[in-house]
Amino acid sequence: RGMEFAEVRLYEPGDEIRSIDWNVTARAGVPFVKRYAEERELTVMLLVDASASTRFASVRQLKSALAAELAAVLAFSAITNNDKVGLVIFSDRIELALPPRKGTHHVLRVIREVLSCRPQGRGTDIAGALEHLAHVAKRRCVVFVVSDFLDPRCRTALTIAARRHDVVAVVLDDPREAALPDVGLVELEELETGDRYVVDTGDRRVREAFAREAAEARRTRDRLLRSADVDAIPVTTDRSYTEALLRFFRMRERRQ
């Protein structure tokens, strides 16, 4: 195989039968496969949400711009460790997919594609993106799903993906999605459907109802990620994401 033998590990669906270590399997009673040094190199998959809801900003930047920055940081971090990086950009369809590769030239293309993407779809289908991943990623990957997770239908797909891969949710938020300002009559648009509403933000009851619904939506999202056994990195458009990333990677180091 041209690779240095390193150790054995438990068999996972998708492993080659010829990699099974039959001696260890016979002693343990469960299948083990030989692991080679080359297998220690990780594959990092970036699943980036390009739906209409990410093209929202109230303070510093669009959620889509924040997603692009995060994708760039994660991609460069991966190649620093000599890992492969792949990309899936999705809305309610797969907008673009790049197979995992190494190298600065490839990472620059990943970043360029995220920045220049003009999505055809408006909605969000995280489950569809994860199903696409299942077809193209035959071995275990680290999967960063960069999205605002406004799609509650993705629970089953996330749970299935988390059993096969190390799935991390990078959760995009904007402070204005949590509370309305008191600015009188305004027209609001539901970005993914195009529906428009006139809302009296000067009415305290309207602002309180909006805040309650937004808080419940966040709690539902958090429960969804916990139930799928997916770690989350919460980031918001009005703050630097550096500390959130550092907290996450420190937590991962403590687990090892």
**C-alpha angle 82-85-86 in degrees, rounded to nearest 5:** 160
pTM: 0.81
- Give the type of residue at 77: S
User: Quick check: 74 and 44 in contact, CB under 8 A?
Assistant: yes
The predicted model gives 71-75 an average pLDDT of 95
Q: Please report the pLDDT score of residue 224 as a whole number.
A: 94
Of the listed ranges 6-20, 140-154, 203-217, the least confidently predicted one is 6-20
Measure the CA–CA gap between 168 and 150, rounded to whole angstroms.
16
Has residue 38 got a pLDDT over 70?
no
Q: Which two tokens stand for residue 61?
A: 């930047």
Q: Please report the pLDDT score of residue 70 as a whole number.
A: 96
Q: What is the DSSP string of 200-243?
A: ETT-HHHHHHHHHHHHHHHHHHHHHHHHTT-EEEEEETTS-SHH
Domains of the chain: 5-39 (no CATH), 41-255 (3.40.50.410)
Question: pLDDT tens digit string along 137-195?
Answer: 988 999 999 999 988 889 999 999 999 999 999 999 998 888 888 989 988 877 778 78
> β-pairing, 5-10 with 32-36?
antiparallel
> β-pairing, 166-173 with 231-236?
parallel
